[in-house]
Amino acid sequence: MIFIINYFLMIAEGFVLKRRSLKCGKKLFVIITFLQLAAIVSLRKETVGIDTAMYIQLLEWSKNDIEIYWIEAGSRAYIHLLGNICTTYTEYLAAWAIPTMVLFYRYIIRNSKDIYLSIYIFASLMFYFLEFSLVRQALAIGIVLQAVSLLDERKYFRYILIILIAMSFHSSAAVFFLLLPISFVKCKINLSLSIMIVALCGICAVFGRILTEIGARLIGYSSYLQTEYANAGNVLHPALFLIILMFCTILSMGAKSTKIRKFRIEYEMLAVGVLFYWISLSVQIVNRIPYYFTGSVMTILPNLIVEMKNRKQAKIVNICVIVFLVLYEFLMIAQSAQGIMPYQFFWE
């Protein structure tokens, strides 16, 4: 219930602050929604989130000087630091969640032309829910998103450095190196490209297991192939994000931003994420990888709507997207995505 109330409250806050001619409207919206979302993820009980109890156990081991050798060096160092600082597990969970949210919000603020819609997308399309379970990976995703602008500015050394930092928290961040060679590909966004992407999705679905076995050795996911995570995934997210990509493709036809390299990079990010989703049809664990790439939807979709020449149509599209996000939020809550339900505060 808390998630539904919070999401509708965010929409109401956005409606009021966007309508009013307040110079600080955007800043207030950013601050208020940040505090709301941070409070919910930080003040949760240890039973909320699939891996929450495990991360709290890591904190206890660190306090007792038990070596946590199987996780990445950056995560080990951070957990050890928090073990010396945090006196409660609530402080510990907040110390993971708040920096992650800062990184996501920073990416949105620097790249979105409609911060309101971007934050709605962040809060509903799984990115926020990742912080309840995939704690290390969520932080790694937030870090690699900072590398997108570096790639656009051709600051390749710093781009590589950012990814290496992200890998020190979660080795799967290595997949973001794929974006470097892809960024040199100059593709025209049109119907032909859409057909090619759909065909590639089919190939990824058919040869998903083979591609996964090759890639798993490179990013340290081989152990997962011996567990239940190696089972086939479901079609919901592959189909959903393919539809989102096709929708962005339609909106981008004739848009000025398509001529900008940064837009092309973000579009390619989204396309790569969609392909990974279709690979996950064969191997479930792969569905964690697309989040590194699909994060671009938080900016590319709002920016395309803002650029629509027909403002009436733009408003209708905006409303339709918000309605879709609300329905998706309901679906994720009903399925207890990342173990978020039943939600309880730490004092309950």
Res 119 pLDDT > 50 = yes
Name residue 345's beta-bridge partners: 44
Residues above pLDDT 70, as percent of the chain: 92
Residue 227: band (very low, low, confident or very high) from pLDDT cuts 50, 70, 90: very low
Res 233 pLDDT > 80 = no
- Distance between CA atoms of 198 and 185, rounded to whole angstroms? 18
Task: State pLDDT tens for residues 331-347.
Answer: 888 888 888 989 999 88
Contacts 24+ apart (CB under 8 A), 322-327: 322/11, 322/117, 322/120, 325/120, 325/121, 325/124, 325/125, 326/7, 326/8, 326/11, 326/124
- Residues 39-53 have a mean pLDDT of 93
Alpha-carbon dihedral angle through residues 218, 220, 224, 230, given to the nearest 10 degrees: -20
Task: State pLDDT tens for residues 302-339.
Answer: 999 999 888 899 999 999 999 999 999 998 888 888 88
Q: Which range is most confident: 17-21, 140-144, 149-153, 285-289?
A: 140-144
The per-residue pLDDT for 62 is 84
The per-residue pLDDT for 230 is 46
- Distance between CA atoms of 145 and 123, rounded to whole angstroms? 16
Contact 79, 170 (CB under 8 A): no
Residue pointed to by tokens 């340290």: 220
Q: How far apart are the first and last CA of the chain?
A: 15
Backbone angles phi, psi at 345, to 5 degrees: -75, 160
Q: How is residue 307 written in tokens?
A: 């650029």
Res 285 pLDDT > 90 = no
What b/e string do you get for 213-241 counting C-beta neighbours within 10 Å, with b at 16 or more? eebbeebebeebeeeebbeebeeebbebb
pTM beyond cutoff 0.75: yes
- Residues 70-89 have a mean pLDDT of 91
Res 215 pLDDT > 70 = no
Res 52 pLDDT > 70 = yes
Residue (of 263, 294, 299) closest to 189 by Cα position:
263
- Residues 43-53 have a mean pLDDT of 92
**In this predicted model, which residue has the larger pLDDT, 136 or 229?**
136
- Residues 148-166 have a mean pLDDT of 93
The per-residue pLDDT for 225 is 47
Contact 2, 45 (CB under 8 A): no
Res 37 pLDDT > 90 = yes
Res 228 pLDDT > 70 = no
Contact 148, 269 (CB under 8 A): yes
- Distance between CA atoms of 169 and 26, rounded to whole angstroms? 31
- Residues 10-31 have a mean pLDDT of 85
The per-residue pLDDT for 22 is 67
Give helix 236-252 / helix 191-206 axis angle, nearest 10°. Answer: 170
- Residues 92-121 have a mean pLDDT of 96
- Residues 232-249 have a mean pLDDT of 86
